[in-house]
Amino acid sequence: MDPELDTLDRRLLDEFQRDFPLESQPYRVIAEQLGTSEERVLERLQALHQAGSISRVGVVLRPRRVGISTLAAMQVPEERLEAVADVVNGFREVNHNYEREHAFNLWFVLTARDAAHLAGVISAIEQRTALEVCAMPMEEEFHIDLGFRMHG
């Protein structure tokens, strides 16, 4: 995360990780709440994305409500970790990924419209990285809030 986040960036990240406005012009609503312009909100989101501070702005649906999802993990050689993470992040079906200190050191969540599409994405990741993806479909549902405050 870029340590040079200004007040607007921090508010944008803190206040809209959850409860994103479900409006025809959500960025205008956000801008009004932040006391700035819609153009400025879009500019800051683009800059945060380019800096690697955020990977995307988008919905995360509860599992099994729409489509299918799985937790996945890969064993990635340390020297390839960043490049493989970039490949994984290139798939719109990936909600997020993260590094872990484990033999399986790259973890991510995949969501797709159906099992065939999910299998196709896993296969494509394996082909592009030449590494195996270990898929771990959910057996029991529980909620983990992935929002993190940017202040402090």
Q: For the chain, first and last CA: distance in Å?
A: 13
The whole-model pTM stands at: 0.57
As beta bridge partners, residue 46 has none
Whole-number Å distance between alpha carbons of 23 and 33:
14
Which residues contact residue 104 at a Cβ distance below 8 angstroms, ignoring those fewer than 6 apart?
73, 74, 75, 134
Question: How confident is the model over 78-126, as pLDDT tens digits?
Answer: 999 999 999 999 999 998 888 999 999 999 999 899 999 999 999 999 9
Return d(Cα 152, Cα 127) in angstroms, integer: 42
pLDDT attached to residue 54: 81
- Give which of 68, 73, 71, 88 is closest to 132, Cα–Cα: 73
What value, to the nearest 5°, has the Cα angle with vertex 134 and ends 132 and 138? 160
Alpha-carbon distance of 72 to 131, in angstroms, equals: 12
Structural domains in the chain plus CATH codes: 7-50 (no CATH), 68-136 (3.30.70.3460)
Query: pLDDT at position 1, please?
Result: 43
- Residue 87's pLDDT is 96
pLDDT of residue 148: 65
Residue 62 is classified by DSSP as P
pLDDT in tens, 14-71: 888 877 888 899 999 999 999 999 999 999 999 988 887 787 787 766 656 667 889 9
